[in-house]
Amino acid sequence: MNFIRKIVKSRPQEDIILRDELKKLLKFSPTSINKYKKAFTHRSVQMIDRKGIPINYERLEFLGDSILGAVISAYLYKEAPKGSEGYLTQMRSKIVSREHLNELGKDLNLIRFVKSNIDQANVGDNIHGNIFEALIGAIYLDKGFNFCQKFIHQNVIAPYVDIAKLEGKITSYKGLIIEWCQKQKKRYAFDAYEDSGNETTKHFSVKISIDGQQIAKGRATSKKKAEEQASKRVYFAFQNEISQD
Amino acid sequence: MNFIRKIVKSRPQEDIILRDELKKLLKFSPTSINKYKKAFTHRSVQMIDRKGIPINYERLEFLGDSILGAVISAYLYKEAPKGSEGYLTQMRSKIVSREHLNELGKDLNLIRFVKSNIDQANVGDNIHGNIFEALIGAIYLDKGFNFCQKFIHQNVIAPYVDIAKLEGKITSYKGLIIEWCQKQKKRYAFDAYEDSGNETTKHFSVKISIDGQQIAKGRATSKKKAEEQASKRVYFAFQNEISQD
């Protein structure tokens, strides 16, 4: 575990590796690498700049939180044209909830970049969401609003935002499928396995079979998400039968 | 008072006038005039579009609020490099307070554009801030983030945001000047007059004289603001003497 590291001085070799890793993650080339380094620096490192100002991710987190809110608002405004102001506010809260942001940060495995003097076990779960927000702040400063928007669409909206699910109409597709199979006396199997391929982030695949026949497959950064994705596909395959139940 | 108007059908002549007025206000040419019309439509008009979706400013207000927050956050991040996350959050709250937004909406006299079926006396003060936010939402949809940022810099940040004052170090420059003059037994005079020139929005000028000599002048959209501006200039002119008191 390389979580507990200390920066004494910036090492060019380290910067090159970080730049490469960031390029894979962000899908663009970062211009100012220092902004990202700040986004991954925990206050426990106690770094200060020449003016005595602390270098850590907390201010970037403030900025990123705000940019994220604006991007999600613009997305909801467009995608939920019938939603009232109250509805939009509620949906945004769900998407940018602390819990959800922590999950996003974990999925991107941002913790691998973090420099801290505290053991990972003691920093708490919120660090994942906090550095996710700080990363958005860094992207904003480095590349502007449109890059942030693209990054958020790719990493927040496309893989996680499902308006029907957020509305609470369906809380778990997996639960729904299991319940339906049990009621219908169908045999079902969820077959999960690691499937990272050449990617740096861990990936899982899940195959769902019903009565011995494979119906759908899902692939995501966690087993739970891959299961949900595959279950959702089963749901849409059997939608008419399930909704008649 | 042309506040109580009802839109039955869009009139081309009305659109031309609105476009002209908006151009003066926004300092750019609006592309999609309908977005601005929506930003100025109160729910009491009970308009709906072809799909049965209500046309009023409430959803745009949700969007504008979020964009405004992001622009102010980015401004504070840059302008207060020593401010902690908590400090930045507090400063942003002050700038985007309901009270402050109502004041901004009033200064821009946005109410002149509003279509409503309720008398102005009964809509409450918040309508000014709400349509100010809705206008930002409309600018975002019409022209994108960078135009919003420019509009907010011109209309919110440049004329109103004074970090020292927001920090509560100085609550009123006028009060400070009067107190100092009284203490120093100096005669002082605030001379205020309307000074709109060719502008559509009302403007006021204020001259401050001390011991019969004119020291500074201020000009703004309200008498109170012009007084503050002029007082601030007096403050900086006598800063050394005042701060020694």
pLDDT band with cut points at 50, 70 and 90 for residue A4: very low
Residue A127 has pLDDT above 90, yes or no: yes
Q: At A51, phi and psi to the nearest 5?
A: -90, 5
Strand pairing class (A188-194; A47-48):
unpaired
Q: Is A61 annotated as a binding residue?
A: yes
Residue B87 forms contact with A (CB below 8 Å): no
Residue B55 forms contact with A (CB below 8 Å): no
Q: Please give the average per-residue pLDDT across A120-130, as a whole number.
A: 85
Contact B108, B132 (CB under 8 A): yes
- The tokens describing B97, both together, are 């307070």
Provide the Cα torsion A119, A121, A123, A127; round to 10°: 110
A120 or A79: whose pLDDT is higher?
A79
What average pLDDT is seen over chain A? 88
Subunit contact B59:A83, Cβ cutoff 8 A: yes
Subunit contact B88:A59, Cβ cutoff 8 A: yes
Q: Is A34 annotated as a binding residue?
A: no
Residue A50 has pLDDT above 60, yes or no: yes
Three-class secondary structure of residue A210 per DSSP: strand
Provide the Cα torsion A42, A46, A48, A54; round to 10°: 60
- Which of the residue ranges A1-10, B78-87, B234-243 would you say has the lowest mean pLDDT? A1-10
Gap from A143 CA to chain B (nearest CA, Å): 13
Residue B120 has pLDDT above 90, yes or no: no
pLDDT band with cut points at 50, 70 and 90 for residue B187: very high
- The tokens describing A219, both together, are 């692939």
Residue B6 has pLDDT above 50, yes or no: no
A198 or B177: whose pLDDT is higher?
B177
Which of B51, B70, B146 is closest, CB to CB, to A66? B70
Conformational region of residue A153, where left means phi above 0, alpha means psi within -120 to 50, and beta covers everything else: alpha
B120 or B161: whose pLDDT is higher?
B161
Angstrom CA distances, B115 to B33, B35, B119, B129, stand at 15, 14, 10, 15
Using CA atoms, how far apart are residues B67 and B51, in angstroms rounded to an integer? Answer: 27
Residue A201 has pLDDT above 70, yes or no: yes
- The tokens describing A119, both together, are 């053991």
pLDDT band with cut points at 50, 70 and 90 for residue B91: very high
Please state which CATH class domain B12-162 belongs to: mainly alpha
Question: To the nearest 5 percent, what fractions of chain B are helix, strand and coil?
Answer: 60, 10, 30
Please provide the DSSP assignment of A52-119 as one string.
S-EESSHHHHHHHHHHHHHHHHHHHHHH-TT--HHHHHHHHHHHT-HHHHHHHHHHTTGGGG-BBSS-
CATH code for the domain defined by A12-166? 1.10.1520.10
Q: Which residues of B are annotated as a binding site for Mg(2+)?
A: 61, 130, 133
Q: Is the dihedral of CA B28, B32, B33, B36 positive or negative?
A: negative
Closest to B130 in 3D by CA, of B53, B19, B26, B39: B39
Using CA atoms, how far apart are residues A161 and B147, in angstroms rounded to an integer? Answer: 28
Supply the DSSP symbol for B220.
E
CATH of A173-244, picked from 3.40.190.10, 3.30.160.20, 3.40.50.300, 3.40.50.2300, is 3.30.160.20
pLDDT (0 to 100) of residue B10: 57
Q: Please give the average per-residue pLDDT across B231-238, as a whole number.
A: 86
pLDDT band with cut points at 50, 70 and 90 for residue B237: confident
Angstrom CA distances, B182 to B176, B212, B224, B230, stand at 10, 15, 20, 18
Question: Can you give the length of chain A in residues?
Answer: 245
Using CA atoms, how far apart are residues A132 and A229, in angstroms rounded to an integer? Answer: 23
pLDDT band with cut points at 50, 70 and 90 for residue B124: confident
Using CA atoms, how far apart are residues A182 and A180, in angstroms rounded to an integer? Answer: 5
Task: Supply the residues of B annotated as catalytic.
Answer: 65, 133
Gap from A240 CA to chain B (nearest CA, Å): 27
Q: Is the dihedral of CA A3, A7, A13, A14 positive or negative?
A: positive
A62 or B124: whose pLDDT is higher?
A62
Chain centroid offset of residue B186 CA: 34
Residue B230 has pLDDT above 50, yes or no: yes
Residue B162 has pLDDT above 90, yes or no: no
Disruptive mutation site among B68, B73, B147, B148 for chain A (greatest number of A CBs within 10 Å): B73
Of the residues A107, A133, A227, A228, which is catalytic?
Answer: A133
Residue A173 has pLDDT above 90, yes or no: no
Q: Roughly what angle, to the nearest 10 degrees, separates helices B126-143 and A58-79?
A: 80
- Which of the residue ranges A77-81, B21-25, B158-162, B177-181 would you say has the lowest mean pLDDT? B158-162
Domain boundary assignment for chain B:
12-162, 173-244
Residue B167 has pLDDT above 80, yes or no: no
Subunit contact A140:B74, Cβ cutoff 8 A: yes
Residue A31 has pLDDT above 70, yes or no: yes
Which of A59, A67, A141 is closest, CB to CB, to B70? A67
Let me know if the fold of B12-162 is the same as that of B173-244.
Answer: no
Question: To the nearest 5 percent, what fractions of chain A are helix, strand and coil?
Answer: 60, 10, 30
Subunit contact B73:A62, Cβ cutoff 8 A: yes
**Sheet strands (E) in B59-212:** 188-194, 204-210
ipTM: 0.74
pLDDT band with cut points at 50, 70 and 90 for residue B245: low
A60: which residues sit within 8 A by CB, 6+ positions away?
A: A35, A38, A39, A133, A134, A135, A137, A138, A141, B77
Using CA atoms, how far apart are residues A132 and A142, in angstroms rounded to an integer? Answer: 15
- The tokens describing A91, both together, are 């949906």
Subunit contact A77:B137, Cβ cutoff 8 A: yes
Three-class secondary structure of residue B41 per DSSP: strand
In chain B, positions 148-177, which contact chain A (CB-CB < 8 Å)?
none
